[in-house]
Amino acid sequence: MKASPVRILAIAGSLRRGSHSRALVELAASLLEHAELQPYDGLATIPPFNEDDEEAAPATVLAFRAAIGAADALVIVTPEYNGSIPGQLKNALDWASRPYGLAEIVGKPVAMVSSSPSSFGGTWALADLRRVLERSGAVPLEDALSVGHVHQEGSSATVRSRLSELLTALIAASSEVLEAA
């Protein structure tokens, strides 16, 4: 019996349609052969996290959580805004982390990618994203990809190769989780 392909949910941390984050998600999708990548496009619809609304979470939050639950792994591609991750991405991850300890994101392997027009490539955003994911119970891969000068290098052979390696590691990590289940 042939195993089902790994299902990866891709979240672009930028809300801008023509963003470098979205372009990197599209690049990731083009590199996959033995996995399915589903871009998540509802980030802008997720309301601000409010613990008062946690018991009766809005439909957009429930849909986001369901998308995470249906995925075997996540890839999050984020720009760096003011030295950190965008507020809307942090907000969505706050919703995804609930209920604490039982959320769909718990135990989920995550590949992290950051980008910036600067030479640093969003390394501060990666550090903050890792911290948020770990506190949420997700399992970020040890390796991550930081794309500096993204406006020039975003689809270079080097970025394509490193992104392909990261996706291969994500597929392997998700397969280990599936086998252990």
In a domain, 155, yes or no: yes
Q: State what percent of residues in the chain have pLDDT above 90.
A: 83
In a domain, 160, yes or no: yes
Q: Which CATH number does the domain housing residue 64 bear? A: 3.40.50.360
- Quote the domain boundaries for residue 70: 6-180
In a domain, 49, yes or no: yes
In a domain, 43, yes or no: yes
Does pLDDT of 1 surpass 70?
Answer: no
In a domain, 27, yes or no: yes
In a domain, 107, yes or no: yes
Output the pLDDT for position 181.
66
Does pLDDT of 14 surpass 80?
Answer: yes
Output the pLDDT for position 55.
87
Task: Name, in order, each residue with C-beta under 8 angstroms of 128's C-beta and a sequence gap of 6 or more.
Answer: 84, 85
Please state, as a whole number, how many other Cβ atoms lie within 10 Å of the Cβ of residue 154.
Answer: 17
Of 94 and 178, which is predicted with more confidence?
A: 94
Does pLDDT of 87 surpass 70?
Answer: yes
Tokens found for residue 42? 């509802």
Q: What is the pLDDT of residues 138-151, one digit of tens each?
A: 999 999 999 999 98
Reported confidence tier of residue 176, pLDDT bands at 50, 70, 90: confident
Q: What is the pLDDT of residues 92-115, one digit of tens each?
A: 999 999 988 789 999 999 999 999
**Average predicted confidence (pLDDT) for the chain:** 93
The phi, psi pair for 111, rounded to 5°, reads -95, 135
Output the pLDDT for position 9.
98
Q: What is the pLDDT of residues 36-69, one digit of tens each?
A: 999 999 999 999 999 999 889 999 999 999 999 9
In a domain, 176, yes or no: yes
- Domain total for the chain? 1
| CA pair distance 112, 110, nearest whole angstrom | 6
In a domain, 1, yes or no: no
